[in-house]
Amino acid sequence: MTSPADPHGIQPPPDPAAAHGAHVTADPHGHGHAAPAGEAWYFTDEQWNQFRKSDAGAAAAIAGLMAGIFTIGLLLYSAIAIICANWV
């Protein structure tokens, strides 16, 4: 049998108990907390407001594109349904 460190043998699965606490995760609630005293924020309030405005514009553009695609699909489906109904 090969040893666990042997790169040519079958490696045992990692022990999940040994890895407990070894990774970093984000805040599970998704609500940021105030920066501790002495630490600066990564972005200024002006930059955050600009991000929010940019996100709102992107959301409006995406909604418009989705509505356009839906409308084109509806028109094509209707045209095919009318053609098939008149064919019979």
Global confidence as pTM: 0.48
CA distance 66 to 70: 6
Of 49, 70, 46, the residue nearest 57 (C-alpha): 49
pLDDT at residue 6 greater than cutoff 60: no
Residue for token pair 């053609």: 83
- DSSP characters over 9-59: SPPPPP-TTTTTT-S----TT----PPPTTPPPSS-HHHHHHHHHHHHHHH
Rg (CA), the chain: 28
pLDDT, mean over the chain = 79
pLDDT in tens, 16-51: 666 555 555 555 565 555 656 666 778 889 999 999
Kindly state the tokens that stand for 43: 């972005």
